[in-house]
Amino acid sequence: MPARAASSASVDGRIAPVRCRCDCTFGSVSIRRTPDTVADPTDRAGTAAVRPRSHARCGRWSDDPRPRAGHAGTVSIQTHAYTGSETDSGAVAVRAVGLTKVYGADRTAVRALDGISVPFAAGRFTAIMGPSGSGKSTLVHCLAGLDTATSGRVLLGDTDLTSLGDTELTLLRRDRLGFVFQAFNLLPTLNAEANVLLPLRLAGRTVDPAWFDEVVGILGIQDRLTHRPSELSGGQQQRVAVARALINRPEVIFADEPTGNLDSRSGGEVLALLRASVRELGRTVVMVTHDPAAAAAADHVVLLADGRLAGEIADPTVDTVIDHLRRLGD
Ligand SMILES: Nc1ncnc2c1ncn2[C@@H]1O[C@H](COP(=O)(O)OP(=O)(O)OP(=O)(O)O)[C@@H](O)[C@H]1O
């Protein structure tokens, strides 16, 4: 099923109210690419001139007050922005509470996380940044149940991950989380469709064809579904990985340097798609990155230094991110 289109109007680069034909829960997205598109990761909305801001679940519409001139060559995603109650109410999707992680022991001990407490808002895109060795990957791995903390807690909604055994953690990761890694981590013997569907197959769940079509439509991989990873570009492989992360409608998608192996164009497209996952599909994304342009695609940046929280940036731009990193000595 192709993504449904939203009707729109744009006057002199200003956002005009639009009426959409969406009938899904969180709203749908229609992606239009012009032949000469060039991804612009600093385009925070990942949109062209018109970005309807809607309350997709109740059908209310409003103007985006900010003038938003079209970015030449931007990945053009015409959206129903997700402004659901989770975001509005400030609900937290996942939270670290006094989290400490020590690798090794005695003289070789490394305190990668040092009692860090930080919430990650539901329905938002948060980037984690900081100097090399500051604990970014360790934090994300602990939040995602891929690594166990030495002390402290990780709360996914009401679930305390640190109280779960290995089997429970495996099931939780499978059922409630999505992952996007720098190295794509696709299974080479499976085609793109089978890779996307893998989490559902492992869970013994059936596929919702409408959701599958919507996800692959958003990610623009409809015509690559029969290809194996070796037959796809890096950017296409990462699109498949994002689709796989979305297919089980996870509460949180964790991304560790998702653009690290991509050229700037493909990286920008993947960032726009992660934003679309948040704004159009109501997901929560937590992403580790070294790239200020990638961080500027997020709603919020959490800064780490020496395993501790070292600052936060609301509504980051490339300049504010670089400025904060400079002050951290990165
Ligand atoms: N398995 C491990 N065993 C021992 N020390 C580790 C291990 N993993 C990470 N560390 C150490 O923990 C600290 C934090 O590492 P981590 O990879 O989380 O940092 P990072 O901020 O993600 O770094 P980078 O930006 O370089 O990827 C570093 O000093 C690192 O050397």
What per-residue confidence (pLDDT) applies to 273? 85
Q: Give pLDDT, residue 89.
A: 52
The count of domains in the chain is 1
Nearest atom in ligand 1 to the alpha carbon of residue 101 is: 12
CATH number at residue 206: 3.40.50.300
Q: Compute, in angstroms, the gap from residue 214 CA to the centroid of ligand 1.
A: 37
| Ligand 1 site, residue 137, Cβ cutoff 6 A | yes
Pocket test for ligand 1, best of 99, 132, 138 (most atoms within 8 A of CB): 138
What's the 137 CA to ligand 1 centre distance in angstroms? 7
Residue 30 lies in a domain: no
What domain range includes position 169? 92-328
Phi/psi of residue 264, nearest 5 degrees: -65, -35
Q: Does residue 64 lie within any of the structural domains?
A: no
Residue 6 lies in a domain: no
Q: What is the pLDDT of residue 263?
A: 86
pLDDT tens-place values along the chain, 330 residues long: 333 333 222 222 222 222 233 332 223 233 333 333 333 333 333 332 222 223 232 222 222 222 223 222 223 333 333 333 334 457 999 999 999 999 999 989 999 999 999 999 999 999 999 999 999 999 999 999 999 999 999 999 999 999 999 999 999 999 999 999 888 899 999 999 999 999 999 889 999 999 999 889 888 899 999 999 999 999 999 999 999 999 999 999 999 999 988 888 888 888 988 998 898 888 999 999 999 999 999 999 999 999 999 999 999 999 999 999 998 876
Examine residue 315 and state whether it is found in any structural domain, yes or no: yes
How far, in Å, from the CA of 103 to the mean position of ligand 1? 9
**Cα separation, 183 vs 252, whole angstroms:** 19
- Distance from Cα 150 to the centre of ligand 1, integer Å: 15
- Is 147 part of a structural domain of the chain? yes
**Is 123 near ligand 1, meaning CB less than 6 Å away?**
no
What's the pLDDT score for residue 266? 84
Q: Is residue 193 part of a domain?
A: yes
Full 3-state SS string of the chain? CCCCCECCCEECCEECCCCECCCCCCCCCEEECCCCCCCCCCCCCCCCCCCCEEECCCCEEECCCCCCCCCCCCCEEECCCCCCHHHHCCCEEEEEEEEEEEECCHHHCEEEEEEEEEEEECCCEEEEECCCCCCHHHHHHHHCCCCCCCEEEEEECCEEHHHCCHHHHHHHHHHHEEEEECCCCCCCCCCHHHHHHHHHHHHCCCCCHHHHHHHHHHHCCHHHCCCCHHHCCHHHHHHHHHHHHHCCCCCEEEEECCCCCCCHHHHHHHHHHHHHHHHCCCCEEEEECCCHHHHCCCCEEEEEECCEEEEEEECCCHHHHHHHHHHHCC
What is residue 67's predicted lDDT score, i.e. its pLDDT? 29
Q: For residue 146, report the distance from its CA to the centre of ligand 1, in Å.
A: 14
Asked if residue 219 belongs to a domain, the reply is yes
* Ligand 1 pocket mutation pick from 137, 139, 146, 256 by most atoms within 8 angstroms of CB: 137
SS3 content of the chain, % helix, strand, coil (to 5): 30, 25, 45
Is residue 10 in a domain? Answer: no
Q: Is 108 in the pocket of ligand 1 (CB under 6 A)?
A: no
